[in-house]
Structure 1
Amino acid sequence: MRRSLKVAIASVATLAVLGPIGWFWRASLVPSRYDMAEMGYADFGGGPAGGHHHASGGTSVAALTGPSTGTPGVTVTLTARREGSRYTLNGQTPGPVIHAVRGQLVQVTLANANVPDGVTLRWHGVDVPDAEDGVAGVTQDAVKPGRSFVYRFVVSSAGTYWYHSHQVSDAQVRGGLFGALVVSGDAVTSDVDQVLAVHTYDGRRTLNGVSGLSSSDAAPGQMVRARVINTDSGPLRVWASSSYRVVAVDGRPVVGPSDISGKAVVVTAGGRVDLLFAAPGRVDVGAGAACSSPGVPAAPSPSATLDLLSYGTSAPLGFDPERANRNFSYRIGRRIGFLDGKPGMWWTINGHQFPDVPMFMVSTGDIVKMTISNSSGEVHPMHLHGHHAVVLSRNGVAATGSPWWFDSLDVADGDSYVVAFVADNPGIWVDHCHNLKHASDGLIAHLAYTDVTTPYRVGGSSHNRPE
Structure 2
Amino acid sequence: MKKSVKIAVAVGVTVAILGPLAYFWQRSLVPSTYDMAEMGYPDYGGGQQAGHVHGGAGSISVASLTGPSTGDPDVAVTLTARTEKDGRYTLNGQTPGPEIRAKKGQLVQVTLINDNVTDGVTLHWHGVDVPNAEDGVAGMTQDAVQPGHSFVYRFVAQDAGTYWYHSHQVSHEQVKNGLFGAFVVSEPVFSEGIDEVVEVHTYDGRRTINGTAGESPLPARPRQLVRARVINTDAGPLRAWVSGAPYRVVAIDGRDVHGPTDISDKSVTVTAGGRVDLEFTMPASGAARVDAGAGAALAAGGLSATAEPKTVVDFLTYGTKAPIGFDPAKANRNFDYRIGRKAGFLDGKPGLWWSVNGHLFPDVPMFMVTVGDIVRMTISNNSGEVHPMHLHGHHAVVLSRNGVAATGSPWWFDSLDVGDGETYEIAFVADNPGIWVDHCHNLKHAADGLLAHLAYTGVTTPYKIGDVAGNQPE
Shared fold (TM-score, shorter chain, > 0.5): yes
Counterpart position of 2:44: 44
Q: Cα distance 1:186–1:256, how it changes in 2: closer, same or farther (>3 A)?
A: farther
Deviations 1:66-98 (A, max 9, x none): 001111100000000011320000000000000
Equivalent residue runs for 1:95-110 within 5 Å: 95-110=97-112
List alignment gaps of at least 5 residues for structure 1: none
Paired letter, 1:71: D
2:137 — aligned with what? 135
Change beyond 3 A, Cα 1:176–1:375: same
Give 1:407's aligned amino acid: D
Contact persistence 1:215–1:294 (CA under 8 A)? no
Pair 1:384-2:385 in alignment:
no
Contact 1:41 1:357 in 2 (8 A): yes
Name structure 2 gaps, 5 residues minimum.
none
The answer as to whether partners of 1:332 and 1:347 remain within 8 angstroms in 2 is yes
Deviation (angstroms), 1:190: 4.4
How much has 1:353 moved relative to structure 2?
Answer: 0.6
Matches within 5 A, 1:61-460: 61-83=62-84, 84-185=86-187, 189-241=191-243, 242-279=245-282, 280-460=287-467
Deviation by residue 1:338-373 (Cα, 9 ceiling, x = unmatched)? 100111110111111100000000000010010001
Deviation at 1:188, TM superposition (A): 8.3
Counterpart-to-counterpart distance in 2, 1:187 and 1:102 = 10
Deviations 1:87-145 (A, max 9, x none): 00000000000010000000000000000000000000000000000000000000000
* Alignment RMSD (CA, Å): 1.0
**C-alpha separation between the residues in 2 aligned to 1:278 and 1:342?**
54
* In structure 2, distance between residues paired with 1:59 and 1:155: 24
1:15 is aligned to 15
Report the equivalent of 1:464: 471
The AA in structure 2 aligned to 1:323 is K
Sort the Cα spacing of 1:410 and 1:306 in 2 relative to 1 into closer, same or farther, 3 A: same
Moved more, 41-50 or 4-13: 4-13
**CA distance, structure 2, for counterparts of residue 77 and residue 238 of structure 1:** 32
Distance in 2 (alpha carbons) for counterparts of 1:269 and 1:276: 21
SS at match of 1:80: strand
How far is 1:186 from its partner?
Answer: 7.6
- Could you report, residue by residue, the CA deviation over 1:380-405 in whole angstroms, capped at 9, with x for unpaired residues? 00000000000011111111110000
Q: Note closer, same or farther for the CA distance 1:326–1:186 as it changes in structure 2 (3 Å cut).
A: farther
Cα displacement (A) at 1:187: 8.6
Query: C-alpha offsets along residues 1-54 of structure 1, whole Å, 9 cap, x if unaligned?
Result: 333322222222112111111111111101111111111000001110122122
The answer (yes or no) to whether the contact 1:80–1:110 under 8 Å persists in 2 is: yes
The separation in 2 between residues aligned to 1:335 and 1:444, in whole angstroms, is 15
Identity across the alignment (%) = 70
Q: Secondary structure at the match of 2:98?
A: coil
CA distance in 1, matches of 2:412, 2:61: 29
SS at match of 2:25: helix
Amino acid paired to 1:14:
T
Count matched residues: 467
TM-score, normalised relative to structure 1 = 0.99
